[in-house]
A = this chain, B = another copy of it.
């Protein structure tokens, strides 16, 4: 690669191709993780007459699919699988804006494909509304947003605490699964529990029903924002300067997958297949 003259037309297209290869693997991982999350998670909500799912069963299914999806993809993309988590990483200067936008797009496409697959394999009489999130009658929209905010607050705090290289080294899969299940054990009663705009978006697109859909964006994103501020500026503040934060935001500086990873100048792209599974920057 070094033989190409920096700054020339060839150099620009080489850089673009390099960037695309670096991020396409991470986007595929986000697509795959969110698709599996919606297929299995929303699949557990289906009301089979001979075995109606209990709140505990649904919550444990979301626990297990989260742990599996994180275990498979965290080294490839950081395993956000959730626009609220991606927003939190953006606010905490752990991901660039272009990459964040691309992540959310991949998550929404993955959620839609997962919901479509579920629609395809489910017997007609059991599909009903494909488990879309709705607000319970005796619960006001304000209470629904407040609950979704609190559920996502604990989720994002747990994601940061489980991927922060200053605190832990192993796979965050089990802990993040625990936090998703915790949210469902309370949230199901109020809104069927979103904590994840993509989880709400996928089924809504397939069924074509967006009643109070905004609640499942506003609540989770506000919770993620609050959690990111608490974690990154109160509980475990890191030492990034404003200049570094801006460089990360625009993508000129690379960050490791998890919270707490230091910001390093743009590295040569790691050889594909070398086993090195570091996130490349874009």
Flag if A235 contacts B28 (CB, 8 Å).
yes
Taken together as a complex, chains A and B put the C-alpha atoms of A266 and B167 apart, in Å, by 23
Minimum C-beta distance from A234 to chain B (A): 6
- Who on chain B is nearest to A153 by CB? B36
A43-67 vs B, CB cutoff 8 Å, 1 = contact: the mask equals 1101010010111110111001101
Quick one: which of A177, A235, A272 has the most chain B CB within 10 A?
A: A235
Minimum C-beta distance from A255 to chain B (A): 14
Whether A34 is near chain B, meaning CB under 8 Å from some CB there, is: no
CB contact list, A2-32 vs B, under 8 A: 25, 28-29, 32
Flag if B123 contacts A139 (CB, 8 Å).
yes
Flag if B166 contacts A275 (CB, 8 Å).
yes
Which residues in B have their C-beta under 8 angstroms from that of A54? 51, 54, 56-57
Flag if B60 contacts A185 (CB, 8 Å).
yes
Which residues in B have their C-beta under 8 angstroms from that of A154? 36, 40, 65, 68, 72
Which residues in B have their C-beta under 8 angstroms from that of A136? 123
CB contact list, A120-172 vs B, under 8 A: 120-121, 123, 125-126, 136, 138-139, 143, 146-147, 150, 154, 157-158, 160-162, 166-168, 170-171
Whether A178 is near chain B, meaning CB under 8 Å from some CB there, is: yes
Which residues in B have their C-beta under 8 angstroms from that of A207? none
Whether A190 is near chain B, meaning CB under 8 Å from some CB there, is: yes
What secondary structure prevails in chain A residues at the interface with B? helix
Which residues in B have their C-beta under 8 angstroms from that of A170? 168, 170
A61 contact from B39, B40, B157, B182, Cβ within 8 A: B182
Minimum C-beta distance from A216 to chain B (A): 16
Flag if B234 contacts A28 (CB, 8 Å).
yes
Which residues in B have their C-beta under 8 angstroms from that of A29? 235
Taken together as a complex, chains A and B put the C-alpha atoms of A46 and B231 apart, in Å, by 29
- Who on chain B is nearest to A144 by CB? B121
Which residues in B have their C-beta under 8 angstroms from that of A76? 235-236
Flag if A275 contacts B121 (CB, 8 Å).
no
Which residues in B have their C-beta under 8 angstroms from that of A61? 182, 185-186
- Who on chain B is nearest to A137 by CB? B123
Flag if B40 contacts A182 (CB, 8 Å).
yes
Flag if A237 contacts B68 (CB, 8 Å).
no
- Who on chain B is nearest to A75 by CB? B167
Flag if A67 contacts B150 (CB, 8 Å).
no
Minimum C-beta distance from A182 to chain B (A): 4
Flag if A60 contacts B71 (CB, 8 Å).
no
Minimum C-beta distance from A186 to chain B (A): 5
Whether A179 is near chain B, meaning CB under 8 Å from some CB there, is: yes
Whether A102 is near chain B, meaning CB under 8 Å from some CB there, is: no
